[in-house]
């Protein structure tokens, strides 16, 4: 017997063997994709590498030359 899980969009019970798993339907799958596309969902983590931080600061200064972040 498959373990019941919940659709991340509407919270209906779905089975791991369902065609649209982990969603309950194509509609919920498309709604979820739309949230990723519109920026409602993001994957982010803090930048830890000092070189990356410097590159980010240069990029911001280039895009916004009047900001106080200039070097």
Q: How far apart are CA 5 and CA 17, in angstroms?
A: 11
Q: How far apart are CA 60 and CA 64, in angstroms?
A: 6
Confidence band, pLDDT 50/70/90 cuts, at residue 69: very low
Among 5, 35, 34, CA closest to 20:
5
Give pTM, 2 decimals. 0.54
pLDDT in tens, 17-53: 889 999 999 999 999 999 999 989 887 777 677 787 7
**CATH tag for 1-64 (out of 3.55.50.30, 1.20.1530.20, 3.30.50.10, 3.40.980.10):** 3.30.50.10
The single residue listed with the structure tokens 């339907």 is: 25
Query: What does the domain layout of the chain look like in residue ranges?
Result: 1-64
Please give the pLDDT value at position 29.
97
């Amino acid at each position: 017997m498959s373990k019941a899980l919940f659709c991340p969009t509407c919270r209906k019970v779905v089975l791991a063997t369902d065609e649209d798993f982990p969603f309950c339907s194509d509609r919920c799958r498309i709604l979820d994709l739309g949230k990723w596309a519109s920026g409602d969902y993001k994957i982010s983590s803090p930048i830890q590498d000092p070189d990356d931080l410097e590159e980010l600061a240069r990029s911001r200064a280039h895009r916004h030359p009047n900001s106080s972040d200039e070097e």
